[in-house]
Structure 1
Amino acid sequence: MSETIETASLLARAGELIDRAIQAGADAADAVVVRGRSSSVSVRLGKVEGTEASESDDFSLRVFVGRRVASVSANPGFDLKVLAERAVAMAKASPEDPYATLAAEADLAKDWPDLDLYDPTEVSADQLTEAALAAEAAALAVSGVTNSGGAGASAGMGGLVLATSHGFSGAYSASRFGRSVSVIAGEGTKMERDYDFDSALYFADLRDADEIGREAAARAVRRLNPRQVPTAKNVAVVYDPRVARGIAGHIAGAINGASVARKTSFLRDRMGKQVLKAGLSVTDDPLIVRGPSSRPFDGEGITGKRLAMIEDGVLQHWFLSTSTANELGLKTNGRGVRGGTSVNPASTNLALEPGDIAPEELIRSIGTGLYVTELIGQGVNMVTGEYSRGASGYWIENGELTFPVSEVTIASNLTDMFLRITLANDIDRSFGVAAPTLAIEGMTLAGK
């Protein structure tokens, strides 16, 4: 069955499920199918360790009876009438929820752009195996690499089918391909591990497996013979783009409307106020063609638009779904995501927009500090903003990376950190959360 025919069949089934729910006594309803197809191969030391494949079309039905709401999930093959009646019965027995509603009919997408998210390329298990083995072999061929942590390759797709009782009916699919490898350098107690990976919507856009292997190996070898550095205050810390994405992720979490409504964000009282250094901006755009987290409409049927979430350092928007917007007295901005039977707001293609200097120039301007390539632990409190993470990387001296550093902790508060960020110009927008190399001054470093 072709993708188009299969999607049409799922839309028809979702529409019929809604009809059954209305017949059973629901005032309104929506039905969702979250689709998934994936295959992957993992190898280690030249041998295949695992091959996996999965397919799923997970249905969920959400019904509203007055201000009462309930959701139920099912696998394909369920009885439409039984599921609808069960959902309505659950709703009638549920407490009232003053915020949960369908998106307003006037806000629903009537049409949407083709974002070119689906690559129909079929990748066989043999091709996945070949790529994983090639990445590992390239890494093991680098001098100083002594062992493998394993390599993998994957291919798959995900999609959303959505129908509502007030007239929305739509579907989209997005493909995803990936390659990764992890290797170990050194011997005995002086071993160091590192990795590299790539992920793309289109198979042809993936980085070469050999290149991924060589980069993982180079990263591991560079980490050999690390030192500790003394404890110090007011240290400048530079984040490699791979870990800088985590800082952008903390920004996204702090401006999520659901966290604001629950009062679990340290930025909950900062709307319209400066939260980043002047001149810095954070954007979110669900409509980028071939964007890694693009979508033509959200989990409620609304087409979002590009938003400057933070502009010139000033907070402009929360990420909002309909129920979260209702709770905050606002209007959804099309960031609702289906997760199981719930709808929560989330970012799409989020970018901490880059500065105008090269990363090498940024490092030279620091003079002395720590260049971080890996963070360890989960020491971030999003309620208070307190930040404390184990870190490793390289010491910066006279504006140059010198020796590898490990077993240190960097600490501060995200409120202060956000106001001290300086950005380089090397952003990589191939990830759903994107950020360039960035420097943060005034952090505490706990070392020896």
Structure 2
Amino acid sequence: MTDTIQSATLADRAGELVDLARKAGADRADAVIVRSRSTGVSVRLGKVEGTESSESDDFSLRVFVGNRVASVSANPGFDLKALAERAVAMAKVSPEDPFATLADEAMLARDIPDLDLFDGTTVSAEELTEAALEAEAAALAVKGVSNSGGASAGAGMGGLVLVTSHGFSGSYMASRFSRSVSAIAGEGTGMERDYDYDSTLYFADLRGSAEIGRLAGERAVKRLNPQRLDTQANVTVVFDPRVARGFVGHIAGAINGASVARKTSFLRDRMGEQVLKSGLSITDDPLIRRGSSSRPFDGEGVKGEKLTMIEDGVLKHWFLSTSTARELGLVTNGRGVRGGNQVSPASTNLALEPGDVSPEDLIRSVGKGVYVTELIGHGVDMLTGEYSRGASGFLIENGELTVPVSEITIASNLKEMFLRVTPANDIDRSFGVAAPTLAIEGMTLAGR
């Protein structure tokens, strides 16, 4: 995989587009070019099911005429002048938006750091096929695995160029490599499925195909012959790190400034208050070298910094872009993300910081409960915090994982869950959302 973003050339074109928008009557403007390249291979039962390669260059121009704003998108080969004139014409007839504008010039990144996000390693479709086949073969070799749900491997890159009418010009790019496999154990109605995967910025950091396949197979076999549990209250539920990342994602959603502005977050009135168990913190850092979700500047050219979003359990910040911050009477903290023609706030490298106890000791301290490895459904109401999800995993008895369990539902309210969570020390920061094993007390379990 080679560096094909040609950032200097694209920056010139974006700059020309901004200049043409100003000449057409825009007061302010910014242009974004997103270039992506990817190749992926999927296999099942030793045969290639699909090979996909994609390339795209997406141009977006956003213009402001007074408090009116309009955005247009185009593919390569378009007429720059015609696009700029169309965008300005659209803005002139658009309704006024008192919050939409470019980021304050004083907030713009001036020294753009190199975060080491790009690995130029070239991986051919043949090599991707070999990796996927190796992962699947390793899964099928596990005793008790009866079938394959398929395996895949991919390599790609993405780059962004941003130019604004008030002097910002910057670009960055990141690579991405991945492997995954799904394994099926058992027969007939007793079949169980599980998976493993890895995704990294650098090819050398990717876990081996054989390891990924073996773990997927072993996880599937462990789930065979699950039991159902009786309905009970006041249960301690332990979230496997894969599930815990989703839990932290709910926290991120609740402290997103856009949700607060829309009044769709159950934490919208809780700034400065304790929302998480004392001693716990949530951090967000866009500047981690080789971080999965790192970026030297956000979608508006603002350089972010590490923030402790929740410190010692107390809510300190919302995720903010410029327009969302203005709506809330605040200042952006560099969390704006371009999505099509829109800029919305989002997290970067988000982490629920770990505790000081091992996952084994945490489970041992629980005594009796449920260890959840998979959640099903979307039963989370971010307006009220009500939480109800189908689950499967393992019974915890005498501080040890014992028999597999399935067809249960775990329920509570996120407000209470946040105040009852205890983290272990096994955090894996290689993902954009990082969390250790988590124990949450006082949940309701619905079973047979």
Q: Which amino acid aligns with 2:79?
A: D
Residues 35-54 of structure 1 mapped to structure 2, 5 A cutoff: 35-54=35-54
Instruction: Give 2:97's aligned residue.
Output: 97
Matched, 1:299 2:330: no
Q: The residue matched to 1:204 in structure 2 has which SS?
A: helix
Partner AA of 1:31 in structure 2: A
The within-5 A match list for 1:90-129 is: 90-129=90-129
**What is aligned with 2:176?**
176
Counterpart position of 1:193: 193
Question: Is 2:2–2:121's contact at 8 Å kept on the other side of the alignment?
Answer: no
Q: Give the SS at the match of 2:6.
A: helix
Contact 2:299–2:336 at 8 Å: present in 1 too? yes
Which amino acid in structure 2 is aligned with residue 151 of structure 1? Answer: A
Name the CA shift for 1:58/1:352 in 2 (closer, same or farther; >3 Å).
same
Residue 3 of structure 1 and its aligned partner are, at CA, apart by 3.2
Q: Is the 8 A contact 2:5 2:159 kept in 1?
A: no
For residue 385 of structure 1, what is the aligned residue in structure 2? 385
Determine whether 1:268 maps to 2:268.
yes
Partner of 1:73: 73
Work out whether residues 321 and 345 of structure 2, in 8 Å CA contact, stay in contact via their aligned partners in 1: yes
CA–CA distance in 1 between the matches of 2:281 and 2:35?
Answer: 34
CA distance in 2, matches of 1:264, 1:433: 22
Q: Quote the Cα distance in structure 2 between the aligned partners of 1:399 and 1:106.
A: 55
Aligned to 2:254: 254
Provide the aligned C-alpha RMSD in A: 0.9
Task: State the AA in 2 paired with 1:295.
Answer: R
Q: SS at the partner of 2:106?
A: helix
Identity of aligned residues (%): 79
Give the corresponding residue for 1:279: 279
Residues 364-383 of structure 1 mapped to structure 2, 5 A cutoff: 364-383=364-383
Aligned-partner Cα distance in 2 for 1:2–1:16: 26
Q: How far apart, CA to CA, are the structure 2 residues paired with 1:360 and 1:3?
A: 44
**2:185 and 2:191 in contact (8 A); partners too:** yes
Q: Is the 8 A contact 2:118 2:202 kept in 1?
A: yes
- For residues 348 and 160 of structure 1, the distance between their equivalents in structure 2, rounded to whole angstroms, comes to 16
Distance 2:386 2:159 in 1: 37
Q: Distance in 2 between matches of 1:307 and 1:4?
A: 33
Whether 1:15 aligns to 2:15 is: yes
Q: 1:352 maps to which residue? A: 352
Structure 1 distance, partners of 2:393, 2:35, is: 39
What residue is the counterpart of 1:437 in the other structure? 437
Equivalent position of 2:428 in the other structure: 428
Residues 333-355 of structure 1: CA deviation (Å, up to 9, x unaligned): 00000000000000000000000
In structure 1, what residue type is equivalent to 2:238?
Answer: V
Task: Look up the equivalent residue of 1:419 and give its one-letter code.
Answer: L
Point out 4+ residue stretches in structure 1 off by more than 6 angstroms. none
* Distance (Å, rounded) in 1 between the aligned partners of 2:203 and 2:371: 33
SS of aligned partner of 1:33: strand
Q: CA deviation at 1:255?
A: 0.2
Q: Which residue of 1 aligns with 2:243?
A: 243
Q: Does the 8 Å contact 2:2/2:122 carry over to 1?
A: no
**Superposition deviation, residue 35 in structure 1:** 1.7
The aligned counterpart of 1:60 is 60
Name the residue aligned to 1:135: 135
Q: Is the 8 A contact 2:2 2:120 kept in 1?
A: no
Kept in 1, the 8 Å contact 2:163–2:170? The answer is yes
Residue 3 of structure 1 aligns to a residue whose secondary structure is coil
Give the C-alpha shift of residue 36 in structure 1.
1.0
3-state DSSP of counterpart to 2:7: helix
Offset of 1:182 from its aligned partner? 0.2
> 1:45 & 1:5 partners in 2: Cα distance?
37
| Equivalent residue, structure 1, for 2:164 | 164
| TM-score normalized with structure 2 length | 0.99
Aligned residues: 448
What code does the residue aligned with 2:382 have? M
SS class of match (2:428): coil
Report the TM-score when normalising by structure 1.
0.99
Q: d(CA) in 1 for partners of 2:194 and 2:7? A: 41
- Cα distance in 1 for partners of 2:438, 2:283 equals 17
2:286·2:294 contact (CA, 8 Å) conserved in 1? yes
- Aligned mates of 1:76, 1:248 — CA distance in 2: 39
Return 5+ residue gaps in structure 1 as ranges: none
Cα offset for 1:4?
A: 6.9
- The structure-2 alpha-carbon separation of the partners of 1:184 and 1:4, relative to structure 1 and needing over 3 Å to count, comes to closer
Shift of 1:106: 1.0
Distance apart, 1:2 and its partner CA: 7.0
Q: Which runs of 5+ in 2 are unaligned?
A: none
